[in-house]
Structure 1
Amino acid sequence: MLSAIVWNDIAFLLGALLLGGILTGLIAGMLGVGGGGVIVPILYEVFGMMGVDESVRMQLCIGTSLAIIIPTSIRSYRAHKAKGAVLPDVLKQWRVPAITGIIIGSAIAGLVAGWVLQVVFVVVIGALGLKSLLGRNDIRIAETLPGRGLMWFYGLVIGLASSMVGISGGGISTNFLLLYGVPIHAAVATSAGIGIFIPIPGVIGYAIAGWPHLAELPPLSLGYVSVIGFVMMAPISALVAPYGARFSHRLSRRHLEIMFGVFLLLIASRFVYGLLAG
């Protein structure tokens, strides 16, 4: 018989994963991101309670986050596409370089220490949050999107950063598009599409990279991908994502930016605290 304390711990973990799935879906739909900024910190705390070693915990969070993002991003993208706001030519230009970047990033993440990934997470998420919160959309590189070469480079950066942070790349691609005068709702909708093809190669890469460390990982882990985390969070986040997408089209551009910025800075501050305390 399991003790009452054990059952309470299990209930807490399940509740945290369920809440995380709901938040992930809402944020993915509203902001065109896969929700990795929510998934990673929640899983980080959950896996910490499960006793996962610090040397592999961040890698496990990122790999699992990428897996959870896949169904969520698909439903979020479909909801935005129904509104007619997606820029399909941008998705075509970014597909190959983004996949290339995430394969390279996954390989790097499997070799570096967990704290390195936390620092990368803070820098990327914090920079995106600050830019959105300041609302400096008057900053423009140009009024039209750049040529094929520079777009290829941006796609590579999106994939590389996404694989090392555990996000779909939506937040990064949104800001790239805004720098070239793309309206916020079109940028968010197009960025939602990035999450369809970025996470899959990342999941495969993290599964392979974590295979030698199975003894240090929780049960039912495929390398650095937790099946338990995926099963608990992915269905509910995918179910909720379309509601967030519909809600986003009722908000002004500035409201979306503020929500996005505050959300990302709160997440980044949590990891800054953890790095300093550790």
Structure 2
Amino acid sequence: MFLIFVVILALTGAFAGVVSGLLGVGGGIFLVPVFLVLFRAFGVSEEVVMQMCVGTSTATIIATSLRSVVTHNGKGAVDWGVLKSWGPAMGLGAVLGVLAATAMHSDTLMAIFGIVAALMGVYMLAGAPRGRLAPSLPGPAVYAPLSGFIGFVCAMMGIGGGTFGVPALSAFGLPVQRAIATSAGFGAVISLPACVTYLLGSTGNAQTLPLTVGYVNLPTFALISLMTCLTVPFGVRLAHVLPAVRLRLIFAFFIILAALNMLRKAFF
């Protein structure tokens, strides 16, 4: 049973790394549903299982996003000005998102994850809307609350900043490759403060996995981080040489199925 657990985690981490580098959406959208199945199978208490899933997923995003940023920056695609201006509110939103997640019942968090994941899948199926909201990036009155919202939702769900960052930056005129590269940086900005907050959280007397600190299981974090770091560069290379339409559609169907399964578990 333990060997199966390790093999599934390793394969999931490898897949999440490719997806993160290729589409800039962050691997958390795939990791959390897998974590939920595995953590439940190993007896994690229902009242904290979803929080452990998103907390551990958030921790893995640190390594994935940093590796992705370094690789994208090697191609000159990261907009550091956007990262510096959007980062502070995004980091604050991330901390607030963790506090909200740990205050919720696990089923409520599961339902929120399912709804947002389903919407993301539909968005990916439909493709990015044509046209732009504005010819250039917005000023502080717009990007401060927008980046704070992105940080809040992503930290609460344990997903990378690219999930919302890529569509937002693209809508304001940033070329898609540059939006993907910069959103990889969003993942680091969100996951670092969010991970610290999850680590400082308390599960009380709830049953968790061995070597769990706060809401983060350290062995799972280590294995997933290792695998994603190995495969992110492959996804980045694909992002710069392949039209990702067909792959995006495949991933969208997968996300929708995972979201529907999450909603089923939350409500039935």
- TM-score scaled by length of structure 2: 0.94
Distance in 2, Cα, partners of 1:33 & 1:200: 17
| In the alignment, structure 1 residue 40 sits paired with structure 2 residue 36 | no
Partner residue of 2:257? 266
Selected match of 1:173 from 147, 165, 181:
165
Q: Contact 1:72–1:241 at 8 Å: present in 2 too?
A: yes
Q: Percentage identity across aligned positions?
A: 34
> Which letter maps to 1:93?
S
1:128–1:275 CA distance, 2 compared to 1 (3 A)? same
Partner residue of 1:237? 228
Structure 2: runs of 5+ lacking an equivalent: none
Q: Contact 1:56–1:114 at 8 Å: present in 2 too?
A: yes
How much has 1:256 moved relative to structure 2?
6.0
How much has 1:263 moved relative to structure 2?
4.2
Selected match of 1:21 from 13, 35, 45:
13
RMSD over aligned Cα atoms? 1.7
Q: What is the aligned residue count?
A: 268
> Which letter maps to 1:184?
V
Selected match of 1:216 from 196, 201, 207:
207
> Which letter maps to 1:40?
V
Distance in 2, Cα, partners of 1:226 & 1:266: 26
Which region of structure 1 is more displaced relative to structure 2, 92-101 or 180-189? 180-189
| In the alignment, structure 1 residue 248 sits paired with structure 2 residue 239 | yes
Partner residue of 1:57? 49
> Which letter maps to 1:135?
G
CA deviation profile, 1:19-47 (whole Å, cap 9, x unmatched): 11111111111111331011111111110
Q: Contact 1:161–1:169 at 8 Å: present in 2 too?
A: no
- TM-score scaled by length of structure 1: 0.91
Distance in 2, Cα, partners of 1:62 & 1:183: 30
Name the SS for the 1:205 alignment partner.
helix
Partner residue of 1:124? 116
Which region of structure 1 is more displaced relative to structure 2, 267-276 or 223-232? 267-276
Name the SS for the 1:168 alignment partner.
coil
How much has 1:128 moved relative to structure 2?
2.1
1:245–1:266 CA distance, 2 compared to 1 (3 A)? farther
